[in-house]
Amino acid sequence: MTSLHWDNAYVSKAVEERSWSESGDSDALAELLASGISKHDAVIDIGGGSSTFVDSLLRNSFENISVLDISGAALSEVQDRTGHLGTNVSWIVGDVLGWNPPHPYSYWNDRAVFHFLVDPTDQQNYVNKVREATSSGSHIVIATFSLEGPESCSGLPVQRWSAEQLAVLFAEFCTVVSHIEYEHVTPWGSKQSFMRLHLMRK
């Protein structure tokens, strides 16, 4: 993945032309609220892009929010949208694999970054980054294309996962809280099969 690829994807396509756009994030927000973390706990949205997840966190008065994305164009779009409400959000432009977490996060949310990591070395580096960026009791939520999902996205290959396969990668330091399969509907009505795995640090 490169920043140029994703900057171009955001700049060249309107919201309704992006396959990853979704009309709401009620399920992701409900999962976070059910986790029991406090409004003061550190939450990070990995690959947040132009998602409205950060808007929902702000509306619900979460105070310690970070959004990381490889595309500066995407984060600029969200900063414009959130305006003064997003003043205290930590906006991080960078590749998650090369990022140095400044402190542990209580909640790690990744809607669709991990499935772009098709190299086993990158996958293991991601697992190591999760370990580095969280601590005992932290929640880690990762969504990927399921085994029935597409084989590519935005012109890039992806790896599809089952919850069981993904959980194995984190088994050394995480336990499974829950997992679901669901369908994401693109702005033009196509359906994509996703899997969301919720883990907790031991």
| All structural domains of the chain with their residue ranges | 3-201
113 or 21, higher pLDDT: 113
What integer pLDDT is reported at residue 8 of this predicted model?
A: 66
State the architecture of 3-201 in CATH terms. Answer: 3-Layer(aba) Sandwich (3.40)
What integer pLDDT is reported at residue 195 of this predicted model?
A: 95
pLDDT confidence tier of residue 179, bands split at 50, 70 and 90:
very high
Distance CA 41, CA 104 (A): 10
Contacts of residue 68, defined as CB under 8 A and 6 or more positions apart, other chains included, come to: 44, 45, 46, 47, 48, 92, 93, 94, 96, 99
Give, in degrees to the nearest 5, the angle at Cα 56 between 127 and 182: 60
**What number is the average pLDDT over the span 153-161?**
90
Give, in degrees to the nearest 5, the angle at Cα 22 between 16 and 26: 150
Q: Does residue 114 have a pLDDT over 90? A: yes
Q: Is 28 exposed, middle or buried (0-12, 13-18, 19+ CB in 10 A)?
A: buried
C-beta separation of 107 from 44 below 8 A: yes
Q: Does residue 187 have a pLDDT over 90? A: no
Q: DSSP code of 186?
A: P
Distance CA 107, CA 172 (A): 18
CA 192: distance to chain centroid?
16
Q: Whole-number mean pLDDT of the chain? A: 90
Residue type at 36 in one-letter notation: G
Q: Which sign does the torsion angle of CA 73, 86, 138, 160 carry?
A: negative
**What number is the average pLDDT over the span 132-138?**
98
Q: Does residue 18 have a pLDDT over 70? A: no
Report yes or no on whether pTM surpasses 0.85. Answer: yes
